[in-house]
Structure 1
Amino acid sequence: MRRLGVWAWWLAAPVWAGNPLAGVNHALLNGDDPAAWRALAGSWSNLSSQAQRVAWRQALESLSREHCGKDAPLSLPAWLPDLTLELAQRDMPLARNYRVVLSGRGALLDARLQDGAGRDLLRGGLLEREEGQRFRLESADLSQPLAAGVYRLQLNAAGRQWQAELALPEVANLSWLSRSPLAVASLPTARPACARPWLEQSLLRRDDYSFVWWRRRELGQALNWPPRQGELWQSVALVRAEARGQLVLRVVHRQSGPR
């Protein structure tokens, strides 16, 4: 049914000469999802109109929905056995910003995530290490939403390098959570092939937003909090997880504020 839906959408889309998405359509109609992922990534730089960009985002959504992105042809190197990329919107009283977080296991020394304009979203980020070679690299606050498109992820570790082209969704003006009361306002579109979205509760230090308490909650569970422990901020995040091959992709809407 998904392929018929894509074909109907394609017939209804505006027609233009030299269609840069023809390779994506051909791969979808032939049931070759890995080839469709490759064609989707390769077509981004050739898009020249808003109609083409809308069609590209629709194709990305269709591919992501079918197998939750696990069929994308992306394999991690042996020296980086697991990797998660998080795209987050954080809302606070009178403020909204965006962040990118890269986490996983391996001897990571440096990472870059470049958008189509060559801007490194991880520049100036804080790299933290834990036991067992686990790491977490969090970007500085980004004032602009994260646009849909193809991003280049480059990783370096002890003389070894790896890079991949990632087709990523837009993260902008998410309204999954309400601020007052702090609760779920709406859920993202269901994807049967993906894990159900979940909630993450945390208490943060007000000076550096570091975690002092954290819990995962399934949707519908009560948001119970521990007793007050000084001047802390509370945060609730709604998390939607999918994949790009072996890479885990998380889109997060987070609400934070004083207790």
Structure 2
Amino acid sequence: MPAMHARLGALAAALALTAALSTAASAQKKYDTGASDTEIKIGNIMPYSGPASAYGVIGKTEEAFFRKINAEGGINGRKINFISYDDAYSPPKTVEQARKLVESDEVLLIFNSLGTPPNSAIQKYMNSKKVPQLFVATGATKWNDPKEFPWTMGWQPNYQSEAQIYAKYMLKNHPDAKIAVLYQNDDYGKDYLKGFKDGLGAKGSSMIVIEESYEVSEPTIDSHIVKMKSTDADVFFNITTPKFAAQAI
């Protein structure tokens, strides 16, 4: 996600949350943990460090937006207390930070935390605690499961739908393409790859000449690029997060 798109997405999510909280705050006087007549306490978890740190701009943008809301009087007189922690895009650390936000900081909800693996790690916990895991910053298909996880709500466009759009473009404009795919070896990468293959349909098996996966713990993807370059691929489909996208380019 380019930095500008990240900022716009963060602002849109923050605006949507502000509107929802404003309606709720004016509708009732009985509050859950994390809300009062003077404050709405919102938790957030972002990769300010680690392999996905480029996405940290989203948390900084949301923090700035909520400061603006507070400077203008808050939401029906309530100031937003935005508490954002770093998980370095590491699921075990995400669990630690979620527990801190829920059990120590006692937030009303966790808002727009980033990443498919990190959010997957805390989904069952958040639902067991009945604390909203709201507008998660990932487009995985798994967030649309209100029956099993009613306290989790997605935000971004569906990864599989996005990938199918690319696939349709390939079929229309490059029907004879030989495609090399690089993808992140987690729910994010696999979800996106599935959508791409679904979009290509029966032609996918002949069009994709190599699939390479990488781990976010790898310092470089050079070896994967070399391997893909050794094929006769003429199209590169790059399913990566910012650090590895930059390396691939």
Same fold, judged at TM 0.5 (above): no
Higher RCO by CA contacts (8 Å cutoff, separation 6 or greater):
1
User: Which is strand-richer, 1 or 2?
Assistant: 1
User: Which is helix-richer, 1 or 2?
Assistant: 2
